[in-house]
């Protein structure tokens, strides 16, 4: 069976993280939402229905995968799966039945469709098609979660780490001076990972996964569930439910935190309940406290200077620059926003800013596609056109 991952209107709830990437590229556990869906459906071939602005970059990244291609979609029966759906651990027997619509707490999880039912599907008509299928197709209820916001990704991260744990691989012969607390079969240590002496790994509450090239520095503590992406460098106290993408540089104390990759968190940082986009930089002493509240969300390549305070529910846009004050940072900073004495201004030096970030990322092996840079430029223009030139600072005093 062919599988097509689609984005619906609910993707707006995943801003700013999903502004410049498909929702299925977001991490939740060791892999992305896409990885979980492909593992669950086991398709013969794969395609995408995404926002038009994302299509050029996605086609360059995966040239052999059809993107927004109605001819491919209508060629034979297919399953349309919601890019925001985290499926349950195992597929139900009903997956093999005749065409049907699968709902998860009232939201679309997937639809199994014939060629005739796919005849009118396009990125523009998809929402209308689903309204018709709700009336025409048999409906079943499936488990899992259709993610509506970043907090739900954090809530499910620990379970996904456990579900996707690579039981068949990994070294359990720890280097001298490294302590393991908890079951050894919950530790996956890639042979190329390096752990210095005076490190504690704790698998009591969940698995710990260290991918290829990870380096854990002396005096670090890593508690599961935790998954650390390839070539990351850790000098931190990780207290569970943490996921880091590739080439992160992490210091400080963190829990209930996900970073998509290439993040740099300085010494003395404390994060609890945060989802960080790609390439985020947080200076020493950055504090994020959202335990028991809405997650803090920081967009791609945002820069938080030393000592920034982030309160629950704060949303920082991509490429924003937030300076420290004796107050919490604003609850909302737009893409390319910059805090000044007059308020939040949109950075007018967009091309220069993009050039500097692209140059810095190239040094660590992260290349920008021209279509991706165009997308970020459009994002900056949109922020300016929306009236974000200068907004009053909604600061609140810390403590």
Per DSSP, the residues of 25-37 read GSBSSSSBHHHHH
The average pLDDT across 126-139 equals: 90
DSSP per-residue string spanning 261-279: SS-EE-TT-EEEEEEE-TT
- For the residues 130-140, what does the mean pLDDT come to? 91
Set out the domains of the chain in order of their start, with CATH numbers. Answer: 2-148 (3.90.550.30), 169-247 (2.160.10), 249-399 (2.160.10)
Residues 204, 220 contacting (CB under 8 angstroms): no
- C-beta separation of 367 from 377 below 8 A: no
- Residues with Cβ < 8 Å from 392, sequence gap 6 or more? 343
pLDDT bin (cut points 50, 70, 90) of residue 169 is low
Q: How confident is the model at residue 168 (pLDDT cuts 50, 70, 90)?
A: low
Contact partners, residue 369, CB within 8 Å, separation at least 6: 57, 60, 61
Q: Pick from 253, 295, 290: which is nearest to 156 by CA? A: 295
- Return the residue matching tokens 């919601």: 82
**48: helix, coil or strand?**
strand
How far apart, in Å, are the Cα atoms of 253 and each of 179, 222, 240, 318, 322? 19, 10, 10, 24, 21
172 pLDDT higher than 70: no
Residue from 241, 248, 169, 253 nearest 207 by CA: 241
Residue 174 DSSP label: P
75-111 per-position pLDDT tens digit: 999 999 999 999 998 776 667 778 999 999 999 999 9
Pairing between β-strand 343-346 and β-strand 337-340 as defined by DSSP bridges: antiparallel
pLDDT higher than threshold 70 for residue 306: yes
């Amino acid at each position: 069976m062919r599988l097509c991952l689609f984005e619906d209107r609910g993707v707006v709830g995943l801003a700013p993280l999903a502004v410049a990437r498909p929702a299925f590229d977001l991490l939740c556990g060791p892999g992305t939402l896409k990885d979980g869906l492909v593992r669950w459906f086991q398709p013969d071939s794969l395609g995408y229905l995404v926002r038009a602005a994302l299509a050029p970059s996605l086609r360059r990244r995966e040239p052999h995968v059809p993107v927004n291609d109605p001819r491919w979609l209508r060629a034979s029966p297919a399953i349309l799966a919601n890019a925001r759906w985290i499926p349950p651990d195992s597929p139900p027997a009903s997956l093999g039945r005749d065409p049907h619509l699968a709902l998860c707490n009232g939201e679309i999880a997937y639809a199994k469709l014939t060629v005739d039912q796919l005849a009118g599907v396009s990125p523009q008509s998809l929402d209308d098609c689903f309204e018709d299928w709700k009336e025409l197709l048999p409906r079943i209820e499936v488990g899992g979660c259709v993610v509506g916001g970043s907090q739900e990704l954090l809530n499910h991260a620990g379970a996904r780490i456990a579900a996707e744990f690579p039981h068949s691989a990994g070294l359990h012969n720890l280097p001298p001076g490294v302590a393991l607390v908890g079951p050894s079969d919950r530790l996956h240590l890639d042979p190329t990972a390096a752990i210095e002496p005076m490190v504690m790994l704790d698998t009591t509450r969940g698995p710990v996964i260290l991918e290829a090239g990870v380096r854990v520095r002396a005096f670090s503590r890593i508690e599961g569930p935790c998954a650390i992406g390839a070539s990351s460098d850790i000098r931190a106290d990780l207290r569970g439910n943490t996921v880091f993408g590739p080439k992160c540089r992490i210091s400080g104390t963190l829990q209930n935190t996900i970073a998509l990759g290439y993040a740099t968190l300085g010494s003395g940082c404390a994060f609890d309940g945060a989802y960080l986009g790609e390439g985020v930089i947080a200076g020493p002493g950055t504090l994020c406290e959202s335990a028991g509240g809405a997650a803090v969300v920081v967009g791609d390549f945002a820069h938080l200077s030393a000592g920034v305070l982030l309160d629950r529910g704060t949303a920082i846009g991509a490429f924003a620059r937030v300076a420290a004050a004796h107050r919490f940072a604003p609850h909302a900073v737009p893409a390319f926003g910059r805090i000044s004495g007059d308020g939040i201004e949109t950075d007018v030096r967009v091309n220069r800013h993009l050039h500097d970030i692209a140059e810095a990322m190239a040094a660590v092996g992260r290349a920008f596609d021209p279509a991706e840079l165009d997308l970020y430029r459009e994002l900056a223009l949109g922020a300016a056109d929306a009236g974000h030139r200068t907004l009053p600072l909604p600061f609140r005093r810390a403590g």
